[in-house]
Structure 1
Amino acid sequence: MTPPDRTRRLNLQQRSTMAGEAAAAAADVETALNIPSDLTAAAFFDVDNTLMQGASIFHFARGLHRRNFFTTREIVGAAWKQTYFRLVGVEDPEHVAEARNSALSFIAGHTVTELEEIGEEIFDEGMAHRIWPGTRALAQMHLDQGQRVWLVTAAPIEIASIIARRLGLTGAMGTVAEHEDGVYTGRLVGDLLHGPAKAEAVKALALRENLDLSRCSAYSDSVNDLPMLSMVGDACAINPDARLRAHAKVQGWRIRDYRTGRRAARAGLVVAAAAGGVSGALAAGAAVRSRRH
């Protein structure tokens, strides 16, 4: 490995750690009505295609688009670029860096309060009816057992917290956007809460809450979440992509698929490409924010 490669890898690890720690620090209890009776066990749920049909950030983007945060041409162009890289299996390092650096910068200048209020509206408009009943039942099962339940997602923490609150879950960890005096700067704290960063978030929260990870559960649809799934004692693949399904079978993990027929068969390619593409589209929307200020 060349020195530049080592540097990039170290930088990624550092950003993942920062993102995870920031997400855990922001994971306040939302609406747990009762004191949990099982204090050392918890469940962690990915959101996109695990708890919710499709990508939450796509539904969020649609809501923001309707409110003129960016144009159709800009989001479609960025989505296609990201989808192309995922379909052909090539991601240009400069493109990835650009996407990371611009992620969530479309909210620069907007207030935390504004985004939270808009998020409530967007949840009612485009998210509530997309919750998978089967996954929701699994989350409720953990709550009924006296365990806490957190969402862990690359979506903005504000949106993740709204979903958790509306579903009566304990709380959420998501991508943290930097803000000063209640106004977003357009920069991230660390990195997107994705892949290794999710594992860092779970680890940091477990340390804070005195959780025994060997007694905890984790749920996801994507092989990208193997770092999180592999660190708990009970992992479950929900609506899994092909690689996660194969890994889960080898490991003896539970598998739940709430999709049907051809839709499930195609999901490994289409969902990964489309969800990733729209995530990249949001990340690439930096250039158009100033028009609203």
Structure 2
Amino acid sequence: MSSNDARGGWDFDAIGTPEDFLSSWSASRGNLRRFFEDHAAAPINEESQRQAGEAAATQAVAAIYDMDLNDFHAGVDAVAGAIESAGAIHVSTPDPDVPQDVGAAAFFDVDNTLIQGSSLIVFAQGLFRKKFFTFKEILPVVWKQAKFKLTGSENADDVSRGREQALEFIKGRSVSELVELCEEIVDKRMTDKMWPGTKQLADMHIAAGHQVWLVSATPVQLAQILAQRLGFTGAIGTVAEAKDGVFTGRLVGDILHGPGKRHAVAALASIEKLDLARCTAYSDSINDLPMLSMVGTAVAINPDSKLRKEAEARGWEVRDFRSLRKAARAYGLPALATAAFSLTGWRIRQKLRKE
């Protein structure tokens, strides 16, 4: 038997001992690896790692939330700004006696969903009372409020322009001054504008152990104070940049309107480990369709005509707490006034008979 046969076909007399072979093979492998690293597949440097990570994140965000990575980043900025504003991600502590249903949450729009009318207008009025701007500067805001009351729906351009005005009004002012004003606005001007039916829905979620979040275009400080007063988990709103405790007049992330709400909710769901299929969203406006469409359950509250039509087409629940307005549309104000006078007269006659 030849040495080749005895050693499994290898001619060790030619290449030396097995140790020599292994050393030679390791050196060859090292040379081959260096060739590929230097020429075919260069080592991943910092920039390449960033690009690879961004590509993976882009795929993940698209697969999970069906959105662009830049939009997700804008949502993260909004959530991060809200956390910085409150000093914590949650503004209220859940009741320790209520078992928490981890992963479930409810997202509530504010204007005309939780409260009657526009919180931005109430905010602007508060700024005016504190002399943040002149009467001439507030006239466009008054006009937008009139349109909102007449139509029952908000205009995206009005919201965007209102945000720009508010940023300009608070530029150079201290954050503490604005927080104090927001507390006054919530306590004196907003709690009495609550839709009781919407508040009951939010309380039902809290009782079920769900997180409850306000998601609004209103300034984040105002939204967070309102959430705190109501015992909600937290709030995401439009974040104005501040440095050294003073507002710069610039925006952080999205304005929380339309698609901006969807971006922020996606970021929040990622941070809080929420299962969007088990979440519920409430809004009155067709502008919030992106947020309503991303959750398992969508409910139209006091909907504008476009959202009502969309909700009916999609089989979403519709709740309208504007009973007087609904009755006025159905029967007309003169008929309602006549009925009211008739009812009052009947009650007076009944009382006189008893006496």
Scaled to the shorter chain, the TM-score interval is 0.7 to 0.9
Contact 1:103 1:188 in 2 (8 A): no
Aligned residue identity for 1:38: D
SS of residue in 2 equivalent to 1:125: helix
Aligned residue identity for 1:22: D
SS of residue in 2 equivalent to 1:176: strand
Partner of 2:299: 236
Partner of 1:32: 93
Aligned residue identity for 1:20: G
TM-superposed CA distance for 1:145, in Å, is: 0.3
Alignment equivalent of 2:262, drawn from 189, 196, 199: 199
Question: 1:96-152 CA distances to partner (integer Å, 9 max, x unpaired)?
Answer: 987665552211111111111111111122111001110000001000000100000
Partner of 2:221: 158
Give the Cα–Cα distance (whole angstroms) in 1 for the partners of residues 236 and 118 of structure 2.
Answer: 16
TM-superposed CA distance for 1:261, in Å, is: 3.9
Aligned residue identity for 2:170: I
Question: Percent same amino acid at aligned positions?
Answer: 55
Moved more, 43-52 or 187-196: 187-196
Give the Cα–Cα distance (whole angstroms) in 1 for the partners of residues 144 and 287 of structure 2.
Answer: 20
The structure 1 segments of at least 4 consecutive aligned residues displaced by more than 4 Å after TM superposition are 13-19, 81-84, 95-103, 263-266
Aligned residue identity for 2:188: E
Question: 1:185-243 CA distances to partner (integer Å, 9 max, x unpaired)?
Answer: 01111331100000000000000011000000000000000000000000000000000
Partner of 2:35: none
Count of residues in correspondence between the two structures:
250
Give the Cα–Cα distance (whole angstroms) in 1 for the partners of residues 239 and 327 of structure 2.
Answer: 32
Report the CA distance shift for 1:249/1:205 in structure 2 as closer, same or farther (over 3 A). same
Partner of 1:246: 309
Give the Cα–Cα distance (whole angstroms) in 1 for the partners of residues 144 and 233 of structure 2.
Answer: 36
TM-superposed CA distance for 1:72, in Å, is: 2.0
Contact 1:48 1:55 in 2 (8 A): yes
Aligned residue identity for 2:92: T
SS of residue in 1 equivalent to 2:215: strand
Give the Cα–Cα distance (whole angstroms) in 1 for the partners of residues 288 and 328 of structure 2.
Answer: 20
Give the Cα–Cα distance (whole angstroms) in 2 for the partners of residues 112 and 139 of structure 1.
Answer: 29
TM-superposed CA distance for 1:34, in Å, is: 2.9
Report the CA distance shift for 1:226/1:265 in structure 2 as closer, same or farther (over 3 A). farther
- Asked if residue 110 in structure 1 is aligned to residue 173 in structure 2, the reply is yes
TM-superposed CA distance for 1:19, in Å, is: 4.5
TM-superposed CA distance for 1:264, in Å, is: 7.8
CA-based RMSD of the aligned residues comes to 2.9
TM-superposed CA distance for 1:32, in Å, is: 2.2
Contact 1:18 1:189 in 2 (8 A): no
Question: 1:225-282 CA distances to partner (integer Å, 9 max, x unpaired)?
Answer: 000000000000000000000110111111110102446877xxxxxxxxxxxxxxxx
Give the Cα–Cα distance (whole angstroms) in 1 for the partners of residues 159 and 131 of structure 2.
Answer: 25
Report the CA distance shift for 1:214/1:174 in structure 2 as closer, same or farther (over 3 A). same
SS of residue in 2 equivalent to 1:54: coil
TM-superposed CA distance for 1:62, in Å, is: 1.1
TM-superposed CA distance for 1:77, in Å, is: 3.2
Report the CA distance shift for 1:78/1:139 in structure 2 as closer, same or farther (over 3 A). closer
Report the CA distance shift for 1:243/1:187 in structure 2 as closer, same or farther (over 3 A). same
SS of residue in 2 equivalent to 1:31: coil
Partner of 1:220: 283
Contact 2:72 2:267 in 1 (8 A): no
Report the CA distance shift for 1:176/1:96 in structure 2 as closer, same or farther (over 3 A). closer
Partner of 2:322: 259
Identify which of structures 1 and 2 has the higher relative contact order when contacts are C-alpha pairs closer than 8 Å and 6+ apart: 1
Alignment equivalent of 2:76, drawn from 3, 17, 21: 21
Give the Cα–Cα distance (whole angstroms) in 2 for the partners of residues 246 and 125 of structure 1.
Answer: 35
Give the Cα–Cα distance (whole angstroms) in 2 for the partners of residues 105 and 19 of structure 1.
Answer: 21
Partner of 2:137: 74
Give the Cα–Cα distance (whole angstroms) in 1 for the partners of residues 145 and 123 of structure 2.
Answer: 18
> How does the TM-score come out when normalised to structure 2?
0.64
> How does the TM-score come out when normalised to structure 1?
0.77
Moved more, 139-148 or 115-124: 115-124
Report the CA distance shift for 1:16/1:104 in structure 2 as closer, same or farther (over 3 A). farther
SS of residue in 1 equivalent to 2:107: strand
Contact 1:103 1:187 in 2 (8 A): no
SS of residue in 1 equivalent to 2:271: helix
Contact 2:124 2:141 in 1 (8 A): no
